């Protein structure tokens, strides 16, 4: 059989044979001891008979009796009958027969035990061999990308545990394969979006440069306008590339967050400082309600980037001369930063998309890349936080950021 050709099976068979040999050895040792006990009883019985004969027949020598007893069973019976020991003859015969039967029974038992043990092992080995073949077929299926097979097992054996572990691994591989396909699709979409995002400003720059080169006598003011537009477009492209590089680092898992205690009041003051020119241009006032002792643990540099992106978004969609309210709630469980503007608001249908990369709402600012909020969400979630948004057209938008402690 093929099963006996396998190295593992040979090893198991050798172990079983070794164990059986140990059992047989113990069996024979016990049999020998038992036979000795039988011999003692037999000799004791004979000894008693000899003593009785000598007592009753003093003229008979002990050597003659022993010689007579050692003869063939028939002669032995005749001698003992001669001296009137019929009962002892029966007892001795029964003892001898019992020893003989006991030995035969033990041999039969040993043969049955060996045959049963071997039979059980062969059946067990055949079942295990089938299971191993099934697992091999299953693994070949996985290698061919087939993750639909089921291999769950309710047993408690080692192979059953292996099957269940393989099933868990298959589920993980299936999820990984699905996520991998999803990531490929997302990458393809992202590349298409990036291509689209870069195409418009690059085309615009090329047209303006062609006009400048083809018209050396171009009016100075028009030329300066073109150059300013080119500079603005280059700055926009630079901002896009920097944002994409940051997101790519997060996607690749190369960003290492530093844990430090952040004072929220100081954080918001630096956000406002970063956006001071934009606040001044839009005449927007930032109104804060922050406890000076409010702190949380996160990476300061990246949280500054995230909050800046959210407040910048609020400024861009605020009305001229309006206000932005920033309130902080601090308790033992979490720290919440609430950023509220009174601007244009977002349509309910679009709210679920605003954190998607390159997504731009109908009311999007002309210079918006559509990546700032996506980057902010990624940063916040990396630091054990999450962000929610609520908005109403014409009334403004509220961003709520919670950092769990």
DSSP for 283-339 reads: T-EEEEE--TT-EEEE-HHHHHHHHHHHHHHHHHTSPTT-EEEEEEEE-SSEEEEEE
Residues of the domain holding 396: 260-404
If asked whether residues 212 and 315 sit together in one domain, one would say no
Length of the chain: 405
CB 138 within 8 A of CB 151: yes
Section 292-302 average pLDDT: 91
Mean local confidence (pLDDT), 132-161: 64
Q: Are 402 and 329 in contact (CB under 8 A)?
A: no
The count of structural domains within the chain is 3
Given a contact cutoff of 8 angstroms between Cβ atoms, the answer to whether 316 and 292 are in contact is no
Is residue 186 included in any domain, yes or no? yes
Decide if pLDDT at 87 tops 60: no
How far apart CA 36 and CA 53 sit, in angstroms, is 25
The verdict on residue 370 lying in a domain is: yes
> Where is pLDDT greater, at 73 or 281?
281
328 falls in which pLDDT band (50, 70, 90)? very high
Q: How many Å apart are CA 339 and CA 352, to the nearest integer? A: 18
Q: Is residue 292 part of a domain?
A: yes
What is the rounded average pLDDT for all residues in the chain?
76
107-116, 190-199, 321-330: range with highest mean pLDDT: 321-330
Same domain, residue pair 107 and 227:
no
CA atoms of 111 and 89, how far apart (whole Å): 33
Whether residues 111 and 219 share a domain: the answer is no
Q: Are residues 278 and 390 in the same domain?
A: yes
Is 148 among the domain residues?
A: no
Do 232 and 267 share a domain, yes or no?
Answer: no
- Is 153 within a domain? no
pTM of the predicted protein model: 0.52
Same domain, 315 and 210: no
* Cβ contact 289:318 at 8 Å: no
Domain check: are 29 and 121 in the same one?
Answer: yes
- CATH number of the domain enclosing 181: 1.10.287.130
CB atoms within 10 A of CB 286: 19
The string of pLDDT tens digits covering residues 248-274 is 788 777 788 888 999 999 999 999 999
In a domain, 334, yes or no: yes
Distance between CA 315 and CA 311 in Å, rounded?
6
CB atoms within 10 A of CB 209: 13
pLDDT value at 245 more than 70: yes
Query: Which pLDDT belongs to residue 387?
Result: 94
pLDDT tens column, 335-354: 999 999 988 888 888 888 88
């Amino acid at each position: 059989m093929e099963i006996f050709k396998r190295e593992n099976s040979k090893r198991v068979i050798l172990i079983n044979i070794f164990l059986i040999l140990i059992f047989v050895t113990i069996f024979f040792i016990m049999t020998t001891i038992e036979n000795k006990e039988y011999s003692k009883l037999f000799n004791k019985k004979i000894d008693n008979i000899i003593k009785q004969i000598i007592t009753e027949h003093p003229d008979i020598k002990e050597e003659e009796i022993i010689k007579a007893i050692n003869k063939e069973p028939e002669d032995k019976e005749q001698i003992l009958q001669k001296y009137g020991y019929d009962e002892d003859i029966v007892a001795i015969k029964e003892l001898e027969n019992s020893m003989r039967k006991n030995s035969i029974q033990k041999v039969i038992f040993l043969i049955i035990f060996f045959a049963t043990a071997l039979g059980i092992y062969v059946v067990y080995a055949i079942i295990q061999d089938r299971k191993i073949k099934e697992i091999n077929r299953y693994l070949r299926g996985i290698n061919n990308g087939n993750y639909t097979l089921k291999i769950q097992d309710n047993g408690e054996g080692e192979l059953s545990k292996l099957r269940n572990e393989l099933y868990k691994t298959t589920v993980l591989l299936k999820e990984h394969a699905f996520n991998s396909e999803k990531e490929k699709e997302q990458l393809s979409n992202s590349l298409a979006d990036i291509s689209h995002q870069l195409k418009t400003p690059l085309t615009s720059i090329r047209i303006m440069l062609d006009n400048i080169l083809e018209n050396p006598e171009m009016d100075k003011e028009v030329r300066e306008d073109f150059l300013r537009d080119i500079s603005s477009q280059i700055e926009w492209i630079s901002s896009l590339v920097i944002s994409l590089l940051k997101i790519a680092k997060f996607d690749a898992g190369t960003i290492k967050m530093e844990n430090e205690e952040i004072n929220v009041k100081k954080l918001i003051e630096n956000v406002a400082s970063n956006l001071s020119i934009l606040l001044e241009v839009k005449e927007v006032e930032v109104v804060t309600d922050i406890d000076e002792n409010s702190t949380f643990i996160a990476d300061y540099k990246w949280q500054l980037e995230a909050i800046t992106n959210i407040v910048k978004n609020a400024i861009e969609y605020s009305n001229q001369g309006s206000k932005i309210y920033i309130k902080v709630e601090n308790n033992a469980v979490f720290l919440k930063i609430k950023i509220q503007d009174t601007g244009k608001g977002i349509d309910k249908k679009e709210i679920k998309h605003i954190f998607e990369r390159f997504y731009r709402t109908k009311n999007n600012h002309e210079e918006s890349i559509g990546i700032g909020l996506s980057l902010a969400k990624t940063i916040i979630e990396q630091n054990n936080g999450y962000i929610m948004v609520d908005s109403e057209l014409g009334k403004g938008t509220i961003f709520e950021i919670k950092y769990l402690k």
